[in-house]
Amino acid sequence: MTERAIAIAERVERFVRNTIVPYERDPRARGEHGPADELVAEMREKARAAGVLTPHILDNGEHLTQRETATVLIRSGLSPLGPLACNTMAPDEGNIYLLGKKGTETQKARFLEPLVAGTVRSAFLMTEPADIGGAGSDPSMMKTTCYRDGDHWVLNGRKRFITGYEGAKVGIVMAKSEDGACMFLIDLPDPAITVEDIPHTIDSSMPGGHASLLLENLRVPADQMLGESGEGFVYAQVRLAPARLSHCMRWLGGCIRAHEIASDYACKREAFGKLLIDHEGVGFLLAENQILLKQSELMIDWCASVLDDGSFGTVESSMTKVAVSEALMKIADNCVQVMGGTGVTDDTIVEQMFREVRAFRIYDGPTEVHKWSLAKKIKKSVLAGRE
């Protein structure tokens, strides 16, 4: 690993452990739909002062490599509030990456720079409701439409599970034209977008919740389209694998911390005449955690290396997302089990990490969808080899 990444990661870890962890008991961290924006702003001011705000983007605008990014983002995830404070959270981190790669200079100045500065939040409007047969894990089912009207595009449709929408100032919307999928940059809020619902969900780490939206004749200037009409899925591929991998990085950091908490508990709590860790049934759970943590770290590093070599990393990121999300689920479950009754309370972040990681098994593609996709590629490869 590079010296610059190690130095940044060490600063981030000190900041998260010393400054952000105490905020976990702040009532503002437990709002109805995630942490309050007031709290996010307060933490980001401290991150800015500590020199760890948006740490994966260097002062010259250069993005760290994916391997370097992993080293940094894992540390930011040591607290559920860490990514919010350091501006490494989803969906902003993925949106920053996409705009940095594909935005025009004008689009970067207007939409990207405030995101990198951490002064605004963003939302990615792609997923649609099941009751209209809209896009979910299969984006080709997209129902939201767009058509050209002079110097604008007009969008109509419904979106669902739009993370962070409430309070966001920048949006990236996917819609379908006669040419195919398109992406648009928009200012938020917009009177043409109505919040229909913000459901209560199992996770609670992301401000703004996961909104359901109605888009009615949303007019977007033509120069706010990313790329050309019909290129939306190509641009989505640019964002997809890195953003998927970043989820793995952040939640690995959270599970490292949960494992630390559970291990400390097992080395203090006594039952049946000895420490919990000395009971094989408990000690083995923690040993399993340590193995799974290292496996997850290595999978992330492998996939990051593939992306750094210039590949889209579609197969590798699917494999990594499945392996890491399933491993982290087992780690979080083990931590709850080791801590017994305490593990299901909010006395520590262990209970929250269990909920967050359970949701992660669905976010950015459920495990089953990734396995199905991988199986299709296996079949294609085998059949091609028989020809």
The pLDDT > 70 percentage for the chain reads 100
By C-alpha distance, which of 71, 94, 96 is closest to 239? 94
115-167 tens-digit pLDDT: 999 999 999 999 998 888 777 777 888 899 999 999 999 999 999 999 999 99
d(CA 243, CA 185): 18
> Which of the listed residues 194, 214, 229 is the one where a domain comes to its end?
229
Structure token pair of residue 43: 């933490």
C-alpha dist (Å) from residue 123 to 90, 94, 103, 184, 210: 9, 10, 16, 12, 10
Does residue 182 sit in the same domain as residue 317? no
The HSE-up count of residue 248 (CA atoms within 13 Å, CB side) is 37
Q: What is the CA radius of gyration of the chain?
A: 21
| Average pLDDT score, the chain | 93
Question: b/e map of 186-223 (b: 16 or more CB within 10 Å)?
Answer: bebeeebbeeeebeeeebbbbbbbbbbbebeebebeee
CATH number of the domain encompassing residue 300? 1.20.140.10
183-221 tens-digit pLDDT: 999 999 999 999 999 999 999 898 999 999 999 999 999
**Tokens 């494992």 sit at which residue?**
259
Q: Is residue 104, in this structure, part of any structural domain at all?
A: no
**Residue 296: helix, strand or coil by DSSP?**
helix
Give the number of other CB atoms < 10 A from CB of residue 228.
Answer: 12
Contacts of 38 (CB under 8 A, 6+ apart): 28
Burial of 56 (0-12, 13-18, 19+ CB in 10 A): buried
> Which of the listed residues 179, 207, 229 is the one where a domain comes to its end?
229
> Which of the listed residues 188, 210, 229 is the one where a domain comes to its end?
229
Q: Domain containing 321: what range?
A: 233-386
Does residue 282 sit in the same domain as residue 373? yes
d(CA 26, CA 253): 21
Kindly tell me if the per-residue pLDDT of 243 is higher than 90. no
* Counted domains in the chain: 3
Question: Per-residue pLDDT averaged across 154-183, rounded?
Answer: 94
In the 8-state DSSP scheme, what is residue 57?
A: B
Element of type H or E holding 226: strand 225-226
Kindly tell me if the per-residue pLDDT of 242 is higher than 90. no
Q: Is residue 364 very low, low, confident or very high in pLDDT (cuts 50, 70, 90)?
A: confident
Q: Is residue 321 very low, low, confident or very high in pLDDT (cuts 50, 70, 90)?
A: very high
Kindly tell me if the per-residue pLDDT of 54 is higher than 90. yes
Q: Is residue 43, in this structure, part of any structural domain at all?
A: yes
DSSP per residue, 340-357:
GGGGGSTTSSHHHHHHHH
Does residue 149 sit in the same domain as residue 12? no
Does residue 209 sit in the same domain as residue 252? no
Kindly tell me if the per-residue pLDDT of 81 is higher than 90. yes
SS3 content of the chain, % helix, strand, coil (to 5): 55, 15, 25
Does residue 261 sit in the same domain as residue 218? no
85-126 tens-digit pLDDT: 999 998 999 999 999 989 999 999 999 999 999 999 999 999
Question: Per-residue pLDDT averaged across 356-374, rounded?
Answer: 91
